[in-house]
Structure 1
Amino acid sequence: MSKSRVKNKLTKKQKIRYSIIAGILSFLLIIGVIVYKANSSNNSKKDEKDSYETLTVKEKDPLILKGIVQPKDTQYFNFDQSQGKISNISVQNGQNVKTGEVIATYQNATAEDQADEQSQSLDKFNLAVSNAQDNLNVASNKQTELETQLANARIDNDKASIEASKQALSAQKDVVNQAQQALDSANLDLSNASKSIERAQKRVTTTVTAPSDGIVYINEKGKVDPTVAYATLVSPETVVNGTVSEYDFKKVKKDQEVDIKSISDDKRIKGKVTNVNQLPETSGQAGADANKSSVSNYSFTVQPEENMQYGTNVQISIKSTTLEIPKSAVLKEEDGNYVFLYKDGKAKKQAVTVSEAGNVDVVNKGLNAKDVIIVKPDKEIKDGKEVKVADNK
């Protein structure tokens, strides 16, 4: 009976002892976990402090603008009432024409009547010339006779006859001069009348010819309506006319290479900017809402490497060569600005020229695309020093 009680007492003591030991072990385990986490955190912070964030320098995304394909040259032919009526259009709609080929013919009834009337009066001028010529011939013959008489009087040495012949000859010469002037005047009148008739006859029929090679499109309504072109001549060569806002105006430059993408079929063609209009496009609302702010737009022209379909809507992609880097990457020192390149595990100090552009700096000199730079260099970093970096952006 006593042995059983002793055994029970030992078991209870053991339980207490084991409970204490278990508590101590649990406490030590908790302390160990806390210490381990603290050490891990310190090591992580140390690693983080020893590593630097880097950035690969890239060119800005290309500027995307809208455009439309149009003929390089377009010429409109409108009904000119002063030329008369259009009697004939010599070409078909959509026909290819060559320089000098007749497009249309005018018939001027008024000019035709004038030409007929003047032609009838031409006989009168011809008769006047004929009469003046006859008068001159008579006067010249008379002068010849008087010259012969004077010669004979001199042979006979008849002073009275000589003097009389001289006076008669002098008077006849005046008659000849007057007859010559009358003939000249008659010839001038005839010439002027002939030219007037010629001009009138030219106005009777007027042809309109193509000033250049191209494709002609006909609108029959324009034959009687001067506000509508009866013929439109377009060049087979095409251009892309684009628009850029005032915010991106300076990014578009003459002779700049561009990529052209057709919106309808994704066809891509190279091109070059040939002209940038320095004046903004006019707006029908200009001055109407003076208190409302508006954005100015400028037109520019692109010459594609190959012709495209008229009227095709396209995207014009202008590659940007601008390099932008964070302001934090630039160290401003007395002798200039610097960044730290990351190359082969080391930091390399690099002089740069930058200009501010909002929240970033634009690199003007000193860096190239694909260079890797340290985003936030500190005082610990030195030229040529080995550095640890975090994942590159």
Structure 2
Amino acid sequence: MKKKKKIIIASIAGLVIAGVGIFALRSGNQEPQYSAYTVKTADPLQLKGKVEPIQKQLYFLDSTKGVIQNIPVTNGQEVTAGTPLIEYQNDTAQNELVTQQHAINKSTLDASQAEQTVASGERQVQTITNQITDTQNKIAAAQVPEEKAALNEQLRQQQADLQSANDQLSQARFAVQGAYEDVQAAKDVLTNQQQQASTSVVAESDGIVSVDEKGKASPEVPVVTVSSKGKQIKGTVTEYDLDKLVPGQTVEVSTIGDNKQAEGKIKSISSSAIPASNDNNNVASYEFIVEGEFPWADDLSTVITLKQDQLLLPDAAVMKKGDKQYVYKYISGKVKQTEIQTQDIGGRKVVTAGLKAKDKIIENPDSALKDGETIQVSAND
């Protein structure tokens, strides 16, 4: 009987030990209930852009100036402000030049004839003046009253002739002045016509020239383009990422293809959206300018990379208690309830206070999790 009891007790003990072993084995293989998430900044934002000159001057065909006779610059030529770019010739104005030159010649001839009239008048005045002097001398020397009377009568006639000669001389001099004014006016008209007959369009600023021969026949194509040596990048950003751009922000610009890189800064951001080319596209896009040293060809495609300092969180990691938000930090195997502040930007939850990059938090907390609790977690980064 005693032997039978011993066997039963040993069997029960064996079952207990086996049960404990199975429970321990199951507990050791049980998956952690919570996942850890490492707080990190948002991925860099990459936007499309193109290289363009800081300043560009376009010179189109101007038919009012006539036809293009010559383009004295070539592709790739470096010019300074004032350099002739396009030379026009106006055939109508050229014909008017001949007529106007005849008008100048006639006015010049009239002026020359008027000068001759003045010279003749001056000689006549001098002759009459000399006659008056001679008569006055004779009157002074005359002894006979009858002779004096005749000389006095002669003097009165000579003085009348002198007055008439002086009047004619004044008119002749006035005619000379008018003739030369006509000559100058005709020359002014000629100068204006010469400018219209042969006109040069000059560069308004320094830069590099680009010539398009198609522009000679089409007013819609620039004949000559002068682009500044300094370059900038013009990029586009959608309304979803517009808030991430700030003037003065440093960016990295790289060319597509050969991947040349240069640093730049956002110079300006347009406040008005680009007109949509597709009526079905309801996403607004905006232009922005990046300034920097970009020694690349115009219209080259680029990628503009913006580093983002925003800390992003999964929505499920954030718990609420009243009007406050908190997460569970995971530190050395324990959790610590930590109050945070967030902001929803573009559909993402962004941390504004309470956490920093590389902090570990519980990604899937629940109401059973307690502050200070020791737990095992699985990584979910």
TM-score, normalising length: structure 2:
0.70
C-alpha distance in 1, partners of 2:328/2:16? 48
Q: Could you say if the C-alpha distance between residues 143 and 212 of structure 1 is closer, same or farther in structure 2, counting changes exceeding 3 Å?
A: same
Alignment of 1:375-386 (within 5 A): 381=371
Instruction: Quote the offset at 1:367 in angstroms.
Output: 4.7
1:233 aligns with 2:221: no
Alignment-mate amino acid for residue 80 of structure 1: D
Alignment of 1:360-371 (within 5 A): 361-365=349-353, 367-371=355-359
Alignment of 1:69-218 (within 5 A): 69-92=51-74, 94-99=75-80, 100-133=82-115, 182-218=175-211
Alignment of 1:1-393 (within 5 A): 24=12, 27-33=15-21, 36=24, 40=27, 55-92=37-74, 94-99=75-80, 100-133=82-115, 182-285=175-278, 292=280, 294-325=282-313, 328-329=317-318, 353-357=341-345, 361-365=349-353, 367-371=355-359, 381=371, 390=377
C-alpha distance in 2, partners of 1:196/1:181? 23
Q: Could you say if the C-alpha distance between residues 35 and 235 of structure 1 is closer, same or farther in structure 2, counting changes exceeding 3 Å?
A: closer
2:86 and 2:200 in contact (8 A); partners too: yes
Aligned residue for 1:269, secondary structure, equals strand
Alignment-mate amino acid for residue 228 of structure 2: S
C-alpha distance in 2, partners of 1:63/1:172? 98
Instruction: Quote the offset at 1:264 in angstroms.
Output: 0.9
**Consecutive unaligned residues in structure 1, runs of 5 or more:** 1-13, 157-162
Q: Could you say if the C-alpha distance between residues 377 and 28 of structure 1 is closer, same or farther in structure 2, counting changes exceeding 3 Å?
A: closer
C-alpha distance in 1, partners of 2:199/2:222? 17
C-alpha distance in 1, partners of 2:207/2:79? 7
2:213 and 2:223 in contact (8 A); partners too: yes
C-alpha distance in 1, partners of 2:16/2:306? 68
Q: Could you say if the C-alpha distance between residues 59 and 171 of structure 1 is closer, same or farther in structure 2, counting changes exceeding 3 Å?
A: farther
1:114 and 1:200 in contact (8 A); partners too: yes
Residues 170-212 of structure 1, C-alpha deviations (whole Å, 9 max, x = no match): 9999877766654444333222210111121223322333333
Residue 9 of structure 1 corresponds to none
Residues 248-273 of structure 1, C-alpha deviations (whole Å, 9 max, x = no match): 22222322211112221233221122
Aligned residue for 2:303, secondary structure, equals strand
Aligned residue for 2:223, secondary structure, equals strand
2:318 and 2:325 in contact (8 A); partners too: no
Query: How many residues end up aligned between the 2 structures?
Result: 359
CA RMSD of aligned residues (A): 5.0
Instruction: Quote the offset at 1:141 in angstroms.
Output: 8.3
Identity %: 30
TM-score, normalising length: structure 1:
0.68
Instruction: Quote the offset at 1:230 in angstroms.
Output: 3.2
Query: Mean alpha-carbon deviation: is it higher for 60-69 or for 133-142?
Result: 133-142
Instruction: Quote the offset at 1:242 in angstroms.
Output: 1.5
Q: Could you say if the C-alpha distance between residues 37 and 257 of structure 1 is closer, same or farther in structure 2, counting changes exceeding 3 Å?
A: same
2:276 and 2:284 in contact (8 A); partners too: no
C-alpha distance in 1, partners of 2:124/2:332? 121
2:209 and 2:227 in contact (8 A); partners too: yes
C-alpha distance in 1, partners of 2:341/2:258? 43
Q: Could you say if the C-alpha distance between residues 321 and 18 of structure 1 is closer, same or farther in structure 2, counting changes exceeding 3 Å?
A: closer
**Consecutive unaligned residues in structure 2, runs of 5 or more:** 141-155
1:326 and 1:359 in contact (8 A); partners too: no
Residue 10 of structure 1 corresponds to none
Aligned residue for 1:306, secondary structure, equals coil
